[in-house]
Amino acid sequence: MVGLDWRSAPLAVRERLQLGREDQVLHFLGQLPWPAVVLATCHRVEVYVHVAAPVEPVLAELERLLAGRGGLSPAAVTAHAIRRNGEAAVRHLVEVACGLQSAVLGEPQILGQVRAALELARRAQRADWALHRLFERAVHAGKEVRTQTRLGRGGPSLARAAVRRLAEAGLDGAREELVVVGSGEMAMLAVREAAAAGWRRIIVCARRPDQALARAEAALAGRDRAGAVALGARAIGEMEELLAGCGAVISATTAPGPVILAPVLRRALERRAGRRLCVVDLAVPRDVEVPDPLPAGLHVWSVDELVPAGDSVALSGPEDLERARALAAGEAAAYLEWYRQRRAVDALRDLRRQADAIREEELALALRRLGDGLSEAQREVLARMAHRLTNKLLHLPMLYLKAVAAGEVTQEEHRAPPQAVSSAGRLAG
């Protein structure tokens, strides 16, 4: 795996490499000669591939392709990228699916994002047996964590962190109007969290306002029983008017570039007559083109500037966190054992097939050279001898591969010839 996340790379780098749309992922997958799955969220861009050793050239090529995707130099990507191989890559993905690697610990959205990454790779016919099983087991681990622990049950999310930031800034949802830009999952989460936090007037702003309004109403269905929230919808073209009159903005689109432009912000601020404007930008790439210099009264927070919500930790406590980590470790170990056994079975089958083919080829050659004077009994003796010889030559390698599959061979022994392992008594019985 090669990836960049919120800890290793600044937002300015990550947004250049973002693969948030299906067409972008499919195009990137089409550039790769190996089985691969791409996991891209607002906090991470990670590419998982299944390849044989040596892996270093593959990892370097992945970084080069990511750099080309973002118009960056390979060195710029390498400076921030994290490489994980083998067991480390497996453990990392499982922990990601469990919400243990999220900026907002236990966020529930990541599980769906891992599932969607696998589904897209399957549709593109790029996920082979190893990646398919790995991502399925990671999703299973995430479900286990959510059912067996309280981690994430409070619904911690970036949307909740955004609403919390507005409250910390002193905004009163009972009196102010909130504009939510976008109509996707994150935008609808923001609508739901804002309503739960007491915002009573929410305007959704999107390219198709009718569709955005329908989604917002669905997001609040059953949650706003008293009809306390007044929902409205406006088009992107009305952005300046909305910014001039609202109390705050949460923007969360999947647009490839800014949807709230600096000149629009400047004009809206002039119309606000000194009233401050608070904007939370949850999008990657960023939705907000921040004016330079920053005008007085404008406060803009990017996704990396939100303080991680502590709800999940407060609700679960260290015991549940430890339990979640144990579940993730157990699932990763189970996958690795399955993988070793699967590889050993494949290797055994291939070894047997190749040995049988060589035996038949050499036996046929020997019989031709001996001519037609051999009796059927003599031919049978030669055939049985060739079969027994093949089996005896395969005996030690077969035992060795089975020991590898069972985890009875250490990493050091794995690099040694089978004879060394046998002499150490590892294959006794």
**Angle, alpha carbons 97-100-106 (nearest 5°):** 85
DSSP 260: B
How far is it, in rounded angstroms, from Cα 379 to Cα 381?
A: 5
Query: What DSSP element (H or E) covers 181?
Result: strand 177-181
Residue with token string 């939510």: 180
Q: Report residue 111 as tokens.
A: 């599980």
Contacts of 166 (CB under 8 A, 6+ apart): 173, 178, 248, 250, 278, 280
Distance CA 326, CA 295 (A): 49
DSSP alpha helices (H): ranges in 71-208? 74-78, 87-97, 109-123, 129-148, 158-168, 185-196
SS3 277: strand
Q: Is the bond leading into 57 cis (omega within 30 degrees of zero)?
A: no
What sign does the CA torsion over 162, 166, 167, 172 have? negative
Q: Are 119 and 111 within 8 A, CB to CB?
A: no
Residue 181 region by backbone torsions, left for phi larger than 0, else alpha for psi between -120 and 50, else beta: beta
Cα separation, 11 vs 69, in Å, equals: 16
Selecting among 42, 98, 205, 246, the annotated active-site residue is 42
State how far the Cα of 205 lies from the Cα of 285, in Å rounded to an integer: 18
Structure-token match 């089996």, residue found: 391
Contact status, residue 181 vs residue 191, Cβ threshold 8 Å: no
Question: By the 8 A CB rule, do 18 and 38 touch?
Answer: no
Question: What gap in Å lies between CA 211 and CA 183, rounded to an integer?
Answer: 8
Give, for 46, the enclosing helix (H) or strand (E). strand 44-49
| Residue 246 known to be catalytic | no
Q: What amino acid positions are annotated as catalytic residues?
A: 42
